[in-house]
Every structure is written in C-alpha cells, then in structure tokens.
Structure 1
Amino acid sequence: MNIAVDSPARDDVRALLDEHLTEMRATSPEESVHALAPAALTAPTITFLTARSDETGALLGCGALSELAPGPGGHGEIKSMRTARSARGLGVATRLLGELLALAAERGYERVSLETGSEQFFAPARRIYTRHGFVECEPFADYVPDPNSVFMTFALPVPPPEGDR
C-alpha cells in the first residue's frame, strides 16, 4: 500500500468522496453532516492523503489533516477518512490514521481531534479511533453539542527538548 499526498479532484477520489457524502446524508440529519466536499479539501490548511494499491494503483482509501491551530502546541483535525468498499478489512484506515498522526507530530501539534457520527452506522469508525488512543471530548473548533455527533481527541506525545535528543 502506498500512502501519499494526493488531490481530492482526481476522478476516483471524487467518486469515493461523493459516496462518503451520500452515506453521511443518508445516515445523519443534514445539519449533523460535517464531511467536506472535495473542493473544500483543497484548502491550503488541509493535507489530503490517499492510500493506493502498490500493484495496481487502485484507490483504497483517503483521509485528511486540517490545521486548526498551527505550529508547536497546535491542533489538527482528521477529516474525510474513508475506505473503499473493496478494501475494507485490509488495514487501510489504520495505515492512513497512522500517517495523519505522524504528519501532525511532525508539525508539532499537541493534539488531533475529529467528529464522527453517534449512530450505529459509525460504530466501526469509533472503534478504530478508540483502539488507536482517541478519547471522547467536548466539541472543539466551531462544532457545537449535537446528539448525532461524537467528538474525539488524541494527545500527541511531546518530543523531548532539542538538547535532550
């Protein structure tokens, strides 16, 4: 599996993101759908990654890191995590999440947060995030309390001071 910065405007990526938005709208009330449209994922504060098959280049999944507060002590948000149906159960989400957290750590972020749904449909996503150390938290950034949302955060390890490395 190859994970790299990619464009949400690519045809296969747009199709996966459109599927993601369609499922979110079918599962949650419109005011509780916080998934971003592909065009919004091109903002300069967002780094968009895809996972692709090493053999065929087929799209396996995607995810993004949005910068909420820059630099050391900063805060990032996971957006648009999605695994293609054909790649579910292959560890795509775990690999993408690991890459996004590593990117956040490189940028010196203190924490990474996310919003996901509270409905049963989102239980697999909540399990993945919990398994990787995310804990429930209060709404962050511009989010407000919503019974259809679960807010989660992950505290990144603080690197030792320069002189102690």
Structure 2
Amino acid sequence: MIAALRGSVDEAGLTALAAALAPALRGGGVVHLRGDLGAGKTTFARALLRALGVGQRVKSPTYSLIESYQVGERALHHLDLYRIADPGELEWLGLPDLADPAALLLVEWPERGGAALPPPDLVVRLDHAGSRRDFSLTPASARGADWIAPGLDAAVQT
C-alpha cells in the first residue's frame, strides 16, 4: 500500500490540497477527517465539496450533525460528530442509508462514531503548525491508495 502523503500548508494550500484530491473522489468512498479543534477539518471539507461541484453554501454540520448535497447523481454527505457522546446516537442519522458505495462520506471527529461508521478509505489528519497546518493523507483501503497515487503530491505545493 502507498505510504501517507505528508506536508505543511497555509490555508490556501489546504484548499488546493482538497481541490487536487477531489477528482479522485468522484466515485464515492469514505474519508475520515482527524485533528484538534480549529485544525482545518471543516475548511478542508468545504473546499473538497466545492471542488466536487457543490454550488450552494456549504454549511458546517456542527449542530445538524450532517449536511447532504446532491451533485448530478452523486450524493455527498458531510458529518461532524464532535457533539456525539456515544456512537449509539448515530443510529437516528440513518448511516446505513448513507453508506451507498457511490456516495462520498466525509466524517469529522470519526473517533466519536466508533464502529457505527463505515471504515475509511482515506484518513486525513490535520495539525496546527503555527499559521500553517501539517497534514497527512493515509490510505486505509486499496481505493484510498488509488486516490493518493503518484501525482497528487505534485499537484500540491508544500
């Protein structure tokens, strides 16, 4: 399996990273977004959703827990599980209905969802590094490895 792609970017670079990754995600899959508060998870998710063609306002799902979008025939779901205290709370979200292999599922704070979540294809880790963000994109499946295959690192200036 391909090793993680790592680097350090400013906010514009984080947006560029998401845009560079977007074409690979058009077929759907699961992306877990990890990092502390304010590390850039929502910024990354918004940039990714815009690059995938979401033309409407991309809202943070902090209070709604999930925001769903439709681009053509493709469903895109952005979850923020920060406010979840127990994975059992996810049952009412209808996660099995969201787990369509053609849909894209972006999950912030996946550690709070535990085994109730589908396993990731890719784990995006963001960490504070002064005014920049350190990032790692770690494939967790063959699909995720294909997403960060050679070429993505060349598309991102770190």
Q: Provide the TM-score with structure 2 as the length reference.
A: 0.31
Larger RCO, structures 1/2 (Cα 8 Å, 6+ apart): 2
Structure of greater Rg: 1
